[in-house]
Amino acid sequence: MDNCLFCKIIRGEIPSTKVYEDENVFAFRDINPQAPVHVLVVPKKHYKNVSECAAADPALAGEILKKCAQIAQSEGLLGGFRLITNNGPDACQSVEHMHVHILGGAKLTDKMG
């Protein structure tokens, strides 16, 4: 996707603070962190949201969850962490490239919506 922000980050055309990369997955720090640790985990292949990714490639969707757990561990989030994926306008998804937020590093609020 030529004009997708996260595709540009994956290609290195826009700088980011990379946390993890492999053949299928890229992870980087959120530009506007909502917690002491705030990492975005994205598939390298462009899917607009988790609904599209899970329908087209459920193995990749599962792999992303596995990588989220591994990254949370490597970030030292031993006391717990939260995964969020905003899917569509009612969830205020602002970047239409599937991504999972990893939030942690402090006691998070119990309010999620």
CA 29 to chain centre: 9
Rounded to whole angstroms, the Cα distance separating 102 from 75 reads: 10
Count of residues touching ligand DGP (by CB under 6 A):
14
CB 66 within 8 A of CB 55: no
Chain residues 62-81 in contact with ligand DGP, contact rule CB under 6 A: none
Decide if 99 is catalytic: yes
* Of the candidate residues 24, 51, 70, 86, the single one contacting ligand DGP (CB under 6 A): 86
Residues contacting 21, CB < 8 A, separation 6+: 27
Per-residue contact flags (x/-) with ligand DGP for residues 23 to 62, judged by CB under 6 A: -----xxxxx-------x----------------------
Q: How many CB atoms sit inside 10 A of residue 18's CB?
A: 13
Query: Per the residue annotation, which of 38, 97, 99, 101 is the catalytic one?
Result: 99
Binding site for ligand DGP (CB under 6 A): 5, 14, 16, 28-32, 40, 86, 92-95
